[in-house]
Structure 1
Amino acid sequence: MKKIVLSSLLAMTALFPAFSQIKYEQQVVAPKIEVAGFAELEIVPDEIYFNISLQEYFEDEKNQKNKVIISTLEKQLLKAVEEAGLPKDALSISGLGGYQNYTDKKKKPATFLESKQYELKVSSPEKLDGILSKVESRGVQYANVSRVDHSKREELKKQVKIDALKAAKVKAEYLVASLDEKLGKVLEIKELDENLYFPQPVFAKANMRTLAQAESADMVADSQVQYQKIKISYRMQAAFEIK
């Protein structure tokens, strides 16, 4: 029994220096630097989405006769979109509606006027000007901008991330160089935050009702739409080893 205990003690004594060395090595932390880089990009939107609402009406409003139905107005809109050189999928239906038209004091509905809403994607407001000029003006209830976007948004987001990471590396390099040290390999990369700002266009003088009332595309005045740019920004954090 004594031999076994003695052997165990000798084994532990032999291993103790090794454990001590491992513990010491784990406590040694290589010097590093952590920095954050920022990049931002402003771009003009090349995808403009318009909401257009068409509504039935009477040519003889007083006598409630000769109703122009919604299918007639829709055909005019479809033809105008085609003549503008836009693809079929540029125009889509976004809603249906209508209201009862009352003519007497007893509030009995005389007829039902249907309305139909569409979303139209164009690359510039000038396209919309020409399209609305070919639809009966009394049938255009309203037309306004719903949103804007950019066709290469995802590609641009990637580039801004890369630029932010490069900015972090440049910052780390000159900070380390100021201490007469050199930057080593990258140890960690984190995406801190993402900011995407897609503003709505602000109309200065353009009046969609006026545009719709023009008899031809030649009579449509130049659009006075002022756009704010889309802003894409990223902040990236990176940790580097210091040699």
Structure 2
Amino acid sequence: MEVETYNSLGGQVALVTGATRGIGAAIAADLSDRGATVYAGARDPDDVTSSELRPLKLDLTDEDSVVDAINCIDDEKGRLDVLVNNAGVMDSRSALAEMPTSVIDETLATNLRGPLVLTKYALPLLLWRNGSRVVNVSSALASLRGDAGRGMPAYRISKSGLNALTTYLDAEYGDQGLVANAACPGWTRTAMGGPDADRSPEEGADTPAWLARFEPGSPSGQFWRDRQVIDW
């Protein structure tokens, strides 16, 4: 699909969660290479090894940590143009009947509640300028089709909720200039995806990073894979 995108992100500010490795690190590197100031959200800022990124202490399961992170960006830059909700965990991959409740709680807290709360606190900065972007890194496992497969219920449902957040943000704030989209990166060679996956982190990051460069008025409230809209 032909969409107008920024070639340079000079002067813009981005926050990428889960930016210490894998897809998140590749997204952060792409945006930084294009000139953005990129805050790399991490529970342990020492895990951010790239000198091109700004380490930011951020624990998505701790509301105080979320507030402190957004306040830090506000104090230092006074703006936020891009929020990439990438951080996530996998559940135990078992069926629901066998899955410990603690695993369900951890998965939903990190993959769904965390992005929801972070976006809540980021919205005042995002809405300060027309055309700010929210990119939610989702999964094909979030599909609502009846044939979507078995296992990983907490992970699937958390990502379905992330897709719902995407459509909500578009409906609620699209007329204020916010551009919100979700992306399926595909099966990627990360700690979560495993070594046998067919995509590199850079390939998995391509569509989310592309969405993060959308210009004002671009398509919003959609689910994308390989730069094409796909069904929910």
Same fold (TM over 0.5): no
User: TM-score if structure 1 supplies the norm length?
Assistant: 0.24
Greater RCO, CA 8 A, separation 6+:
1
TM-score, normalising length: structure 2: 0.25
